[in-house]
């Protein structure tokens, strides 16, 4: 059974930075694209970013482009999301999810989420 465990969520002030991690296990991490999806409190789901299986391609939602960076370390089976210049509207639970055969697909494997609260 695929396992994805996010960490790094915290309370931070607007304008500050935070890095999230997603530890993957029980599958060959280096074979799959990986996504970040977020959900603001009481709101719907919003796709954030995807990275290709080898890290050579990254794509972002317009709402985070230029502020967030997705990356991965296939030797450590870990996905990252570096979040800079945080805004109050970035407050959300952040989920990592395993991709499918292409960067446009998401599988049924999601982590439990980590909460990021941006507040002064």
Residues making contact with another protein (CB under 8 A)? 35, 44-47, 50, 59-62, 95, 97, 103-108, 110-113
Q: What are the tokens at 81?
A: 């999301």
Residue closest to 10 by CA, chosen among 91, 112, 100: 91
The strand pairing partners of 47, in sequence order, are 37
Least CB distance to another protein at residue 45 (A): 4
The two beta strands, 68-73 and 92-99, are unpaired
Least CB distance to another protein at residue 108 (A): 4
Q: Which is nearer to another protein, 48 or 86 (CB)?
A: 48
Q: What distance in Å separates the CA atoms of residue 9 and residue 92, rounded to the nearest whole number?
A: 9
Q: Which is nearer to another protein, 1 or 75 (CB)?
A: 1
Least CB distance to another protein at residue 53 (A): 16
Q: Which is nearer to another protein, 84 or 107 (CB)?
A: 107
Least CB distance to another protein at residue 41 (A): 11
Cβ atoms within 10 Å of 73's Cβ, excluding its own: 13
Q: Which is nearer to another protein, 42 or 120 (CB)?
A: 42
Residue closest to 69 by CA, chosen among 31, 36, 111: 36
């Amino acid at each position: 059974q695929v396992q994805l465990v996010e960490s790094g969520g915290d309370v931070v002030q607007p304008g500050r930075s935070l890095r999230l991690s997603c530890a993957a296990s029980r599958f060959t991490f280096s074979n799959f694209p990986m996504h970040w999806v977020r959900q603001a409190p009481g709101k719907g789901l919003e796709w954030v970013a995807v990275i290709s299986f080898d890290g050579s391609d990254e794509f972002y939602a317009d709402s985070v482009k230029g502020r967030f960076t997705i990356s991965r370390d296939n030797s450590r089976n870990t996905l990252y999301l570096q979040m800079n210049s945080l805004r109050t509207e970035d407050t959300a639970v952040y989920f990592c999810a395993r991709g499918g055969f292409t960067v446009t697909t998401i599988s049924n494997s999601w982590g439990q989420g980590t909460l990021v609260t941006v507040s002064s």
